[in-house]
Amino acid sequence: MLNRHARSFFTALFTPLARWLLKIGVSADAVTIIGTAGVVVGAVVFYPLGQLWWGTLFITAFIFSDVLDGIMARMQDVKSRWGNFLDSTLDRIADGALFAGLAIWFFTGGANTPIAVAAMACLVLGMVVSYARAKAESLGFTANVGIAERAERLVSVLVVTGFTGIGLPEAVLLVTLVLLAAASFITVIQRVVSVRRQALAEPSPAD
């Protein structure tokens, strides 16, 4: 939902920057790589040190590269399978770093094992959500259903994590992560059921 409703706003916001970057010779792939690197640094450096607020601000400065590179590709009228693959692969790295950074802090200095476990559950289930769709599409099925889209997951965890760093009760972060994990699990089930229905609807080899 967030992707659909916010796309036009962020496109208008970042189009001037995208145009300028293309003008000076920066490619969409470069923006994708730099953006992912920034998110990973923020997640695995700031978060494990307990700097949840500053880490979130640092990550936010780079997270919109995911919007910016898409605008740049469209402005160049480039529909590259390589670009799509790179973007999707690096998205998984960024997501994994985000939840891993949280888990490291709360397993160690943060001393809150339930939050750490919930973060690890989000990491694993988030990867399965993405894998289920990719595998389904590689087999000729579609699996673009589910209630846990990437944008919603990122916004939720970043906002709550950031405010936890400046005094929001940790219980709010725990509830958020548990809900995200539950939503991801439901999405996995939805995608499995969707693919199963498509498989059953296929004509059998004997037909």
Q: How many CA atoms lie within 13 A of 128 on its CB side?
A: 18
Catalytic residue, candidates 69, 87, 91, 95: 91
Residue 203's region, left for phi above 0, alpha for psi from -120 to 50, else beta, is: beta
Residue 105's region, left for phi above 0, alpha for psi from -120 to 50, else beta, is: alpha
Residue 91 is among the residues annotated as catalytic for this protein: yes
The CB-based long-range contact list for 31-35 (8 Å cut-off, 24+ gap) reads 31/65, 31/68, 31/69, 31/72, 32/65, 32/66, 32/69, 32/83, 32/86, 32/87, 32/90, 33/86, 33/90, 34/62, 34/65, 35/62, 35/63, 35/64, 35/65, 35/66, 35/68, 35/69, 35/90, 35/94
Task: Give catalytic residues, as residue numbers.
Answer: 91
